[in-house]
Amino acid sequence: MARLQDALIIRGNTIKNRIVMEPMFTFTYLGDILGDSRTQEKSFYGKQHIDHYEERAKGGAGLIIIQATQCAGSASGTEQWTEYDKSILKTIAQKCHNYGAAVMMQLACGDTDINALTADEIHAMQREMITAAVTAYQLGFDGAEFHLAHGFTLCKFIDAKFNKRTDAFGGTAENRVRVLTGILPEIRANTGEKFMLGVRMGEFLPESRDGFEAAGIFEQAGIDLLNISFGMKMPVDPVPDGFICSPMAYSGCRIKQAVDSIPVIACGALRTEEEVRFLIGHDYADLAGIGTAFLADPAFAKAIMNNQPVNKCHGCERCQWFTDHAKCPARKGKS
């Protein structure tokens, strides 16, 4: 059985331990003021983001997946892909590497009704996905994770109930995942041998069998890492007796059992050393995905690996950090 401190090799990359900082959007980070301060022009990414991810890398995370960056604009160098924004992203990757953390960029495609898209619009979106992944590689990231979860655009493609398309992107499971699998060869051809490609997805698409089937196809297509959260809606089914983690974390365990050898991240309200050691120590997952616990305590990974107390996430019903990071009750008075 694996221990938290055990390294994991993925596509030649050494993940130094089994703790992952999950992608979480920094809603109240406003970027940096550019040019004439009177115009109040701002970048999307800025110094706050650098400090945020560097602090968690310093705090012991083995793998950091930064917040969702929209693929739109990657080809034109606009939106979240301006030269300034790319310089910030490049610095984030460098800072994480300074502390021995691997770092991936999560890539997303907004929130669109996929059934209303033309084939040409889908192909244009795929071109942006390719450019975004290749740019992440060029900026020094160890990999890219495509966001096929949480009810957003790419999630809608792979959900058998939502996807009503009758063309090459609808119908069979192979067709529903084509929005990503169809572009993997071109991404591979334009990134290095060690560049990891991951998928964030859920088990219920809308049934377990749909999630298992999609996960298997992604594995066969060469995806390197599956990060299991939820699809169109949060899982609420009861977990087996003795399983001390959340239904979402149990989805990660189920997907791990459904694939052959691809590493799986399980996540979902993991806030204590007991929960994390339970998942990894019982081989329920290859990696433990930590969310708000890393917001409450940037050194969460280092603390639990050394059996030290953590600055514990309060588990607020409505996460105060996302509303205003300065108002998080676990982090009051801290950056």
Looking at residue 198, its amino acid is G
Domain boundaries 8-331, corresponding CATH code: 3.20.20.70
pLDDT tens-place string over residues 83-125:
999 999 999 999 999 999 999 999 999 999 999 999 999 999 9
Q: Which of 158-172, 199-213, 318-332 has the lowest mean pLDDT?
A: 318-332
Q: Give the residue among 53, 231, 94 at the shortest CA–CA distance from 156.
A: 231
Q: What is the mean predicted confidence (pLDDT) over 195-200?
A: 98
Q: For residues 35 and 274, is the Cβ–Cβ distance under 8 A?
A: no
Residues 6+ apart with CB under 8 A from 103: 53, 57, 63, 64, 65, 66, 92, 93, 96, 97, 141, 142
**Which long-range contacts (C-beta less than 8 Å, at least 24 apart) are formed by 252-256?**
252/228, 252/279, 252/284, 252/285, 252/289, 253/279, 253/284, 253/285, 254/203, 254/208, 254/211, 254/212, 255/203, 255/211, 255/212, 255/215, 255/226, 255/228, 256/284, 256/285, 256/286
pLDDT of amino acid 35? 79
Q: Tell me if the pTM is above 0.85.
A: yes
pLDDT of amino acid 2? 85
- pLDDT of 133 over the 70 cut: yes
Q: 3-class secondary structure for 231-256?
A: CCCCCCCCCCCCCCCCHHHHHHHHHH
pLDDT of amino acid 40? 72
Alpha-carbon Rg for the chain, nearest whole angstrom, is 19
pLDDT of amino acid 216? 98
- pLDDT of 23 over the 70 cut: yes
Task: Look up residue 178 and give its two tokens.
Answer: 């084509």
Look at residue 201 and give its three-state secondary structure. strand
pLDDT of amino acid 38? 65
Confidence of residue 317 (pLDDT cuts 50, 70, 90): confident
> How far apart, in whole angstroms, are the C-alpha atoms of residue 298 and residue 60?
8
Q: What is the mean predicted confidence (pLDDT) over 170-196?
A: 98
Task: Look up residue 120 and give its two tokens.
Answer: 């040409």
Q: Give the residue among 97, 209, 105 at the shortest CA–CA distance from 159.
A: 209
Q: What is the mean predicted confidence (pLDDT) over 67-85?
A: 97
Q: For residues 100 and 56, is the Cβ–Cβ distance under 8 A?
A: no
pLDDT of amino acid 335? 52
Average pLDDT for the chain: 96
Q: Give the residue among 87, 196, 96, 182 at the shortest CA–CA distance from 145.
A: 196
Buried/exposed 3-36: b ≥16 CB within 10 Å, e otherwise: ebeeebebbebebbbbbbbbbbebeebebbeeee
Confidence of residue 331 (pLDDT cuts 50, 70, 90): confident
Q: Give the residue among 250, 267, 231 at the shortest CA–CA distance from 150.
A: 231
**Domain map (residue ranges) of the chain:** 8-331
Which helix (H) or strand (E) segment holds residue 300: the answer is helix 300-305
Q: What is the mean predicted confidence (pLDDT) over 262-281?
A: 97
pLDDT tens-place string over residues 202-217:
999 999 999 999 999 9
234 Ramachandran zone, left/alpha/beta (phi>0; psi -120 to 50): beta
